[in-house]
Amino acid sequence: MNYLKIEHEDVCNGTGLRVVLWLSGCSHHCYNCQNPQTWNPDSGIPFDESAKQEIFNELSKDYISGITFSGGDPLYENNLDEVLKLVKEICISFPKKTIWLYTGYSYSEIFRGQSSCLSQEGLNNFKRREIIKLCDVVVDGEYIDEQKDITKKWAGSKNQRVINVKESIKNNKIILYCD
């Protein structure tokens, strides 16, 4: 897994002051994407122990609300194993910090057919579900330029949803996050 940047104090990618991990790799290639430089999974820097330590050092600060995973796409197939491992470690080490994740994948598609892990895509969706279940908020869906909406908080186009994951799982239906 490669990443392009670790932001230490971001206010644009979730509530509060956040650490943001910008990951490499995206298969969606949305027209007029704001980060096309993140599409190539080989671009950027290999994620290693020192990058993880940098994130953990920032998360240990009282004034940091949590972490946001963005990119690229954190749920891109090359990122799944490392993101899952990292999210699990963050949940254990920083249980009071929130985890936000931006993905071009649809929450509904990922959670459809939950029992099917026989294909590679089924296995990938299983890992995506495991990651999402550990998040507090997921912003889902590809950016659609024709539906661009600069008034929509936390998302770029009208089709994208800002989902309260814990409430959605508890209620077995999508519950949108309201700030």
User: Quick check: 4 and 34 in contact, CB under 8 A?
Assistant: no
pLDDT at 68: 98
**pLDDT one-digit tens code per residue, 111-155:** 876 555 567 777 888 999 999 999 999 999 999 999 999 999 999
pLDDT at 121: 76
3-class SS at 120? helix
Which percentage of the chain shows pLDDT scores above 70? 96
pLDDT at 179: 62
pLDDT at 57: 98
Out of 10-24, 33-47, 103-117, the most confident range is 10-24
User: Quick check: 61 and 15 in contact, CB under 8 A?
Assistant: no
Mean pLDDT to the nearest integer, 41-51:
95
Which tokens go with 87? Answer: 């999210």
Listed by start position, the domains of the chain span 2-171
Cα 130 versus chain centre, distance: 12
Mean pLDDT to the nearest integer, 44-69:
98
Residue type, 116: S
Q: How confident is the model at residue 41 (pLDDT cuts 50, 70, 90)?
A: confident
pLDDT at 35: 84
Give Cβ neighbours of residue 77 (< 8 Å, ≥ 6 apart).
25, 27, 124
Average model confidence (pLDDT) for the chain? 92
Look at residue 98 and tell me whether its pLDDT is greater than 80.
Answer: yes
Burial of 147 (0-12, 13-18, 19+ CB in 10 A): middle
